[in-house]
Each structure stands twice: as C-alpha cells, then as structure tokens.
Amino acid sequence: MPKPFTPKVITANALLEGDVIYLADNGWTRQLAQAEVLTDEAHADLRMIEAAAQTDAVVGVYLADVALEGDTPVPTHFREDFRARGPSNYAHGKQEQF
C-alpha cells in the first residue's frame, strides 16, 4: 500500500541571494510560516511542476515535510529547522529578522 501523503511545502534557494525560500499562494516567501501547505498529492505534483519551471529565479526545488501547529507549518526534520532559522553559531540568516 502506498504511504499516505503527509503535509509538505515546496522549498528552494533564491537564485540571486541563495536564501531559503518557500512557495506561497502568490509567488515565493522567505518565511516558512507563510508557505503554502500541500496536503493533496496531485496538487503538490502540479505545484512542483510550476515551481521547478521558474529556473530564472530559484534553484534546487524540492518538497519538504512539515507538521502543522494550528494552520502554521513547522519543520519535522532538524535540517529544515536550520534552513528555516539560520546557523546556530551566529544570529545570521533568517533569525536576523526575528
């Protein structure tokens, strides 16, 4: 039996800055909390095709697992947690804006 589809977001790096970005309803966002949460596999496939086609703006598009806290997506794996926040030795990256 295929595994049930778990909630995901589409993520990549911005071509110019290299920043971690997430696909939102209208374009890309730098905040995971604003990402579009994908709960339907067919819809996720479609959004992946749309996202991956934007080769002039983004690099390395993939689906990342998330859990939902209320409606807000949060990372399930520590790698995605660091990507969403920044490195642990300096307050650089996204945490600079928090």
Partner 1 sequence: MYHYTDFDDAFLKERNAQFRAQVERRIDGSLTEDEFKPLRLMNGLYLQLHAYMLRVAIPYGTLNSRQMDTLAMIADKWDKGYGHFTTRQNIQYNWPELRDVPDMLDALAAVDMHAIQTSGNTIRNVTADHFAGAAADEVADPRPVAELIRQWSTDHPEFQFLPRKFKVAVTGAEADRAVIKAHDIGLRIVKRDDEIGYEVVIGGGLGRTPMIGKVLYDFVSAEDLLPTLEAIVSVYNLLGRRDNKYKARIKITVHENGIEDIRARVDARYALIRDQFTGIDQQMLARIESDFAQPSFRKADVTPYHNTYQHDPLFRSWADTNLADHRNPDYAIVSISLKAHGKTPGDATSRQMRLMAQIAKRYGHDELRISHEQNVILPHVHKGDLPSVYYALKAEGLGTANIGLISDIIACPGMDYCALATARSIPIAQEIATRFDALKLEHEVGPLKIKISGCINACGHHHVGHIGILGLDRAGVENYQITLGGDGTEDATIGERAGPGFSAEEIIPAVERIVLAYLDLRNDPAEEFLQTYRRLGLAPFKAALYPEAAQKVRENAA
Size of the site for partner 1 (CB under 8 A): 25
∠ CA 30-35-33, rounded to 5°: 75
Determine the Cα–Cα distance for residues 89 and 91; give it in Å rounded to an integer. Answer: 7
Q: Which parts of 30-59 interact with partner 1 (CB under 8 A)?
A: 55-56, 59
Q: Is 63 a residue that touches partner 1 (CB under 8 A)?
A: no
The amino acid at 81: D
Q: What is the largest CA-CA distance in the chain?
A: 45
Tell me the closest approach of the beta carbon of residue 40 to partner 1, in angstroms: 24
Cβ proximity to partner 1, 18 vs 42, nearer residue: 18
Determine the Cα–Cα distance for residues 57 and 81; give it in Å rounded to an integer. Answer: 23
* Interface residue list for partner 1 (CB under 8 A): 13, 15-20, 55-56, 59-60, 76-79, 82-83, 86-90, 92-94
